[in-house]
Chain A
Amino acid sequence: MEHIQQLFEQLFGTDWGSMLFVVVKTLALILAIVIPLLLGVAYLTFAERKVIASMQIRVGPNRVTFFGIPWLRGWGQPIADAVKAIMKEIVIPTGANKFLFILAPIITIAPALAAWAVVPFSPEMVLADINAGLLYILAMTSLGVYGVILAGWASNSKYAFLGAMRSAAQVVSYELAMGFALVCVLMMSQSLNLGDIVNGQQGDSFINWYLIPLFPMFLVYMISGVAETNRAPFDVAEGESEIVAGFHVDYSGMAFTVFFLAEYANMILVATLTSIMFLGGWLPPFNIEPFTMVPGFIWLLLKIAFVLFLFLWFRATFPRYRYDQIMRLGWKVFIPITLLWIFVLGTVMQLPVSVQESFPLNLWF
């Protein structure tokens, strides 16, 4: 690293060389995050088809393979799907607003990728270790809804616009519950930095994770996360039995695939955030010998995979919510629960020190 920095400084002078070095280094690190992420997205679609297939006693994709190796049957499916999507024509409807029609998928995927900048993978592995990391995540996830709204409007189609309307109302409502659930997390950790949030959950075992004291908030966050990503059972924005395919009904080829990728990237993001904020991030479940030998990054991956499995499980299990029930759940159930929990948490934090240090409370406070 230092050699490369010296090379840059010799080439472009000390001022510009170090600046350019930072830019190039950051770009390389961004690629190091985004490329595995996109691969993960591709194989999450495969995992989804396989998991749901086995839940419904089917086989799932089992044809495409690499170099004819028999035990890899089906593993080439995501690659084949990507190639197919690239070859397809992008049809732009005559009445559509061309500029916004093309812009919408880009706006959808950009925040889903940008939010990864502050995600810590292990104590040292983080791209931007900023103080207001949690706020940044909230800001980025709230931008994703623009893509859906623009897609719905720019398509100039009734069904697409209905999907966009549903999605906008749903995402804005569930963002509130999500934000309040995260307020509880930052009250516990007393920091907005994601690394500090994980460090606040350090202890002897998984009892110290925020999952235990904030269990209702964990449920609220998980369910709001499903609603935010427009996944089943909250996928009324697509609702293929009611409004064809919702906001992306007029999209085809790669433009559609970008929406598809953004949905899965958002799923991985929500799963990662749930793991970091409630399941102890890179911390092992027990702080003793065989568990601590596994690197923290692996623990984080395992937790992400578990939460993602829950997402797929939900989709295979629950029927789609009706629209007014979604609104009721968000506004009349989740927001009161979160407000109540903030109040309870605040009360506990104001208890005298001697009470806080007595048995179960001393695990978390």
Chain B
Amino acid sequence: MTFQDIVFYFFAIILILSALGVITSRNPVYSALLLVLSFVTCAGLWLLLEAEFLAITLVLVYVGAVMVLFLFVVMMLDINLDRLREGFWKWFPFGALIAIVLVAEMAMVLMGGNFGLDQMPAPSPQAADYSNTKELGRLIYTEYVYAFELAAVILLVAMVAAIALTLRKRMDKRSPDPSKQVAVKSEDRLRIVKMASERKE
């Protein structure tokens, strides 16, 4: 057992336990936090695979942005666990069916011999000055440029749709418009009147 193995098992155990915690925890805030923990340990595992760009991006995008909003929503909701559990046994067969299908699909992929050690030998370690980021950029902008552009367009459409869905002006409420407020000049509000000084006779 080398040092790397110890690091791997350390991350792997935390990852599995925190992933289990996500689905078993009763408090949704704990679930979200455990999901954050599993993302971070997953990034650690990716670092061991020398995929530093992907590992750091995972932390940056999912932990730094997506999970913040997630946690936020979970905290704002007043979740009543008793009401959530009401229909548990009624829906159990349906859920079990989906779980079985999922397990079968994963088993087909993982046991199909596509991921054995003979199919995927351990990658040879790269030199210290090898830039993962540069290689990734080169691949994305040459070989996979159409797929990349397509993904970008889909994301843009989703963003425009999300903004269009929420952008509506409420007529029944008065609210300040900061752009108008900061554009105000003193001449708009204040009129200086010149007048001759009065004198007491």
Which of A131, A145, A332 is within 8 Å of B68, CB to CB? A145
Q: Is the CB of A143 within 8 A of B59?
A: yes
Q: Is the CB of A132 within 8 A of B56?
A: yes
Write out, one digit per residue, whether chain A residues 100-119 have a CB within 8 A of any chain B CB (1) or not (0).
10000000000000000000
Any B CB within 8 A of the CB of A172: yes
Contacts of A149 in B (CB 8 A): 68, 71-72, 75
Q: Is the CB of B178 within 8 A of A132?
A: no
Q: Is the CB of A325 within 8 A of B178?
A: yes
With most chain B CB atoms within 10 A of its CB, the pick from A97, A139, A149, A328 is A139
Any A CB within 8 A of the CB of B114: no
Contacts of A322 in B (CB 8 A): 178
- Name the residue of chain A whose CB is nearest to the CB of B176: A324
Q: Is the CB of A132 within 8 A of B132?
A: yes
Query: How distant is B192 from chain A, measured CB to nearest CB, in Å?
Result: 25
Q: Is the CB of A139 within 8 A of B52?
A: no
Contacts of A194 in B (CB 8 A): none
Across chains A and B, the number of contacting residue pairs, with CB separation under 8 Å, is: 73
Q: Which chain B residues numbered 21 to 72 have a C-beta less than 8 Å away from chain A?
A: 29, 33, 36, 52-53, 56-57, 59-60, 63-65, 68-69, 71-72
- Classify chain B: how many residues form its interface, as a range: 20 to 34
Report the Cα distance A240→B131, complex, angstroms.
47
Report the Cα distance A63→B77, complex, angstroms.
50
Write out, one digit per residue, whether chain A residues 168-197 have a CB within 8 A of any chain B CB (1) or not (0).
100110010000000000000000100000
Contacts of B175 in A (CB 8 A): 324
Report the Cα distance A45→B201, complex, angstroms.
62
- Name the residue of chain B whose CB is nearest to the CB of A135: B56
Query: How distant is B45 from chain A, measured CB to nearest CB, in Å?
Result: 16
Contacts of A221 in B (CB 8 A): none
Write out, one digit per residue, whether chain A residues 137-180 have a CB within 8 A of any chain B CB (1) or not (0).
01100110110011001000000010001001001100100000
Contacts of A16 in B (CB 8 A): 3
Any A CB within 8 A of the CB of B197: no
Any B CB within 8 A of the CB of A244: no
What are 7 sample pairs from A and B whose C-beta atoms fall under 8 A apart? A97-B29, A131-B132, A138-B64, A139-B56, A149-B75, A153-B75, A324-B178
Known: A142-B59, A161-B75, A324-B176. 10 other contacts (CB 8 A): A132-B53, A135-B53, A135-B57, A142-B68, A146-B68, A149-B68, A153-B29, A171-B68, A192-B133, A332-B179
